[in-house]
Chains A and B, each alone.
Chain A
Amino acid sequence: MELLSGADMVARFLKDEGVEYIYGYPGGALLHIYDALFQQDAVEHVLVRHEQAATHMADAYARATGKPGVVLVTSGPGATNAVTGIATAYMDSVPMVVISGQVMSHLIGEDAFQECDMMGVTRPIVKHNLSVKSPEEIPMILKKAFYIASSGRPGPVVVDIPKDMTTPTDRFEYVYPKSVKLRSYNPVSRGHSGQIKKAVDLLMNAKRPVILAGGGVISANASEELIELAQHLNYPVINTLMGLGAYPGTDRQFLGMPGMHGSVEANMVMHHADLILNLGSRLDDRITNATEKFCPTAKLIHVDIDPSSISKTVAADVPIVGPLESVLGEILKQVKASTIETDAESHDSWWQQIEEWRGRHGGRFRTDDSELLKPQAVVEALCDVTNGDAYVCSDVGQHQMFAAQYYKFNKPRRWINSGGLGTMGFGLPAAMGVKLNFPDDDVICITGEGSIQMNIQELSTCLQYNLPVKIICLNNQSLGMVRQWQDMNYESRHSQSYMKSLPDFTKLVESYGHVGMEVRKPEELQATLDKAFAMKDKLVFVNVYVDPFEHVYPMQVPRGSMRDMWLNKTERT
């Protein structure tokens, strides 16, 4: 029997759970825990410059590896600074465990120094939260947190620990709990066989089918099954923003992304399909456009681990609740064994139609006559220079959409962005979280001059932990997406979307000990990128001046159907 303090139990549990890195920031309520961390070397702590960055680092680690990221923040402001990152992980179903310090239990409710009701504040943005009432509970509560965060539909779990639960002199028996069972929480382990059979029948009889793969395919590690099924049936595949990489982006059967800034062929195919096999996408408003006009001729099979995602926005004809890997595996088995012959003639003309849509618009941006560098061209060049194999972490705005449209992701877990919450400031800490865990891979942060300034202080963390990420700042000197909407809907009244007094980014990154580069003309791009990516051991910030007037297209017409799109500033479907 081993006697440990609550603080030692936290450190020891993390080691026993196999946690390598935790991301955090110390403070009064955490002093005992930080002292325990100091006296061990199994778990390495990464000191960020702002707690939001700690959550994004942990989040990106989880997205890249599938394992829960771990965050440690102190009570009060430390905890509230983590809130944006927790909400970001919640919206994108990312497994994360956030340990927050709390004031001593006898002070709770007395408005003590750095007290904040973290349980109450985070309740709407966590999968679950737990608070420690007695030190002996710490190992089991942490085990529950890891189990809940990473099972079923993953999500963030907060564990709130009052300081007196970690007092070094109060020692208790420690046993690592190998497993945990909760009578009120049992994620589904397989899909309903009757529903799967119905889905297979629909798949075999479809004339104009399409497979829609969402973030669920990635979190379930079901890419292989998806690829095998799609290629066996020769059906077209669309990846949502969260699903990019689930199906290879350079494959002939891949049509791009659906929705607001989806490709023409993807949106056309969705609108005209007679069957949509939706795998782990929650069909949110950025995909469906007006739900009452959504895919009028399609039957919808919806597979999801979370029953509440099914028929939430669009009613499913065949709902299947279950883990995607097992449901897809079962569908694949039954499709292969099916005696029904698929309608080759219909599929031929469906593919002809698809190729016509693809050929008509081709997913190309206009280079027009301007001398200005197009942001899309920068993303294409990035894809080339990294062989399409980098981890790409994005901030939020136009550059995010350009990255999603023009970087061809061939593997899952390579595209890391805040799709649901749309958190500016996500990109740099995300790239850091990935680089720390994949030091030999190219890790890019695609950002804008607006987003990068929301967490730019992390350049300091990059130096301390030697995180040579490549920051590609598509600098259009304005909050591009806001400006685009103002151009389209507010007669170009650019209310607060122009940034004056931008810093000299090159000098700024140099002052943090990194390398800064600038691209002002199209012809400088290739050489600069080559140079930047050749510097394997240096963080390079490439400030790329791009066309400030560029809009993201296609763009769905508000309140229209999937097929109603602006193709450029003057043409629409």
Chain B
Amino acid sequence: MRHIISVLMENEAGALSRVVGLFSQRNYNIESLTVAPTEDPTLSRLTLTTVGNDRVIEQITKQLNKLIEVVKLVDLTEGDHIERELMLIKVKALGSQRAEVIRNVEIFRGQVIDVTSSVYTVQLTGSSDKLDAFINVIDTTNVLEVVRTGVSGISRGEKVLSL
């Protein structure tokens, strides 16, 4: 099953490579990873998506917790949560394709953020599934480039991951 694990850690050189190294050392997989400092510049928030059965996920969270620089972590998929990912996608758009692309962008509530006579660059935000769905409706031969940020997530309601 897919899990979104969110990690609060010391914003120090090397901390990220410890997390990434752990996954390769222990043969776990990372599907996506995103990291940036929080409102407290001494802390970073790292969000990763991974796939594994309950036992593997339990080991992943335990091993992450063991890293000295990890302050706290949460498996967001254990509770109600919101996930978002941002995608920039460059699409070939000529003739009738131009209107077709715009229609799909509207349906998916995206934005065209750059235009040339033959290309639209589209920005789209949502769950990973939604971004996948958008790519699927565009003829793949017209997709020139895809950039995705990886998943960020947050718990719903009062629950917070903080010091």
Give the B-binding residues of A (Cβ under 8 A): 119-120, 123-124, 127-129, 131, 148, 182-185, 306-308, 311-312, 315
A182-B68, A184-B9, A184-B70 known; A124-B63 Cβ under 8 A:
no
Contacts known (A182-B68, A306-B66, A312-B59); A124 close to B21, Cβ less than 8 A: yes
| B63 lies within 8 A of A119 (CB) | no
Measured between beta carbons, the chain A residues less than 8 angstroms from B58 are 311
- Is the Cβ of A307 less than 8 Å from the Cβ of B62? yes
With CB as the reference atom, state the residue of chain A lying closest to B25: A124
Q: For the complex, is B163 an interface residue (Cβ under 8 Å from A)?
A: yes
* A183 x B21 contact (CB < 8 A): no
Q: Are A183 and B71 in contact (CB under 8 A)?
A: yes
Q: Contacts of A127 on B, CB cut-off 8 Å?
A: 68
Show 30 A/B contacts (Cβ-Cβ < 8 Å), sorted by A. A119-B14, A120-B17, A123-B14, A123-B17, A123-B18, A124-B25, A127-B68, A128-B68, A129-B14, A131-B13, A131-B14, A183-B71, A183-B163, A184-B9, A184-B68, A184-B69, A184-B70, A184-B71, A185-B68, A307-B62, A307-B65, A308-B59, A308-B62, A308-B63, A308-B65, A308-B66, A311-B55, A311-B58, A312-B59, A315-B55
B116 to chain A, nearest CB (A): 39
A183 and B69 CA atoms in complex are apart in Å by 9
Secondary structure of the B contact surface, majority rule: helix
**Distance from B71 Cβ to chain A, minimum over Cβ atoms (Å):** 4
Binding site for A on B (CB under 8 A): 9-10, 13-14, 17-18, 21, 25, 55, 58-59, 62-63, 65-66, 68-71, 163
A312: chain B residues within 8 A (beta carbon): 59
B25 partner residues in chain A, CB cutoff 8 A: 124
Residues of B within 8 A of A124 (CB): 21, 25
Per the bound structure, the CA–CA distance linking A182 and B163 in Å amounts to 12
Residues of the A chain whose Cβ atoms lie less than 8 Å from the Cβ of B70: 184
- The residue of chain B having its C-beta at the shortest distance from the C-beta of A307 within the complex is B62
Q: How far is the CB of A156 from chain B (nearest CB, A)?
A: 13
Max chain B CB contacts within 10 Å: which of A148, A183, A184? A184
Report the separation of the CA atoms of residues A148 and B21 in the bound assembly, to the nearest whole angstrom. Answer: 20
- B110: min CB distance to chain A, Å: 39
Taking CB atoms, residues of chain B closer than 8 Å to A315 are: 55
Q: Give Cα A185 to B18, complex, Å.
A: 15
Query: Which 6 pairs show the lowest CB-CB distances between chains A and B?
Result: A308-B62, A184-B71, A128-B68, A124-B25, A185-B68, A307-B62
Q: Smallest distance from the beta carbon of A164 to chain B beta carbons, Å?
A: 17
Give Cα distance in the complex from A21 to B94, angstroms.
Answer: 76
On chain A, the residues within 8 Å of B59 by CB distance are 308, 312
Q: How far, in whole Å, are A182 and B12 apart by their CA atoms in the complex?
A: 14
Q: What is the CB-to-nearest-CB distance from A62 to chain B, in angstroms, rounded to a whole number?
A: 19
CB-CB under 8 A for A148 and B68, given A123-B18, A184-B10? yes
Residue of A nearest to B17 (CB): A123
In angstroms, how far is the closest chain A Cβ from the Cβ of B127?
30
Q: CB-nearest residue of chain B relative to A128?
A: B68
Residue numbers in A under 8 Å from B21 (CB-CB): 123-124
Distance of A307 Cα from B67 Cα, bound (Å): 12
Known contacts A123-B18, A184-B68; can you find 10 more A-B pairs with CB under 8 A?
A: A119-B14, A123-B14, A148-B68, A183-B163, A184-B70, A184-B71, A306-B66, A307-B62, A307-B66, A308-B66
Q: Give the shortest distance, in Å, between B43 (CB) and chain A (any CB).
A: 9
* Complex contacts, A307 vs chain B, CB 8 Å: 62, 65-66
Chain B residues with CB under 8 Å of A120's CB are 17
Give the one of A123, A148, A308, A315 with max B CB within 10 A.
Answer: A308
In whole angstroms, how far apart are the Cα atoms of A306 and B55 in the complex?
Answer: 16
- Closest chain A residue to B163 by CB distance? A183
What's the minimum C-beta distance from B70 to chain A, rounded to whole angstroms?
6
Chain A residues whose C-beta falls within 8 Å of the C-beta of B62 in the assembled complex: 307-308
* Nearest CB on A from B14, distance (A): 6
Give A183 to B68 CA distance when docked, in angstroms. 9
A127-B66 Cα distance, complex, nearest whole Å:
9
* Complex Cα spacing A307 to B18, Å: 19
Residues of B within 8 A of A123 (CB): 14, 17-18, 21
Chain B residues near A148 (CB, 8 Å)? Answer: 68
Which of chain B's residues have a CB closer than 8 A to the CB of A185?
A: 68
B55 — which chain A residues lie within 8 A by C-beta? 311, 315
CB distance from B16 to the nearest CB of A (A): 11
How far apart are the CA atoms of A119 and B18 in the complex, in Å?
10
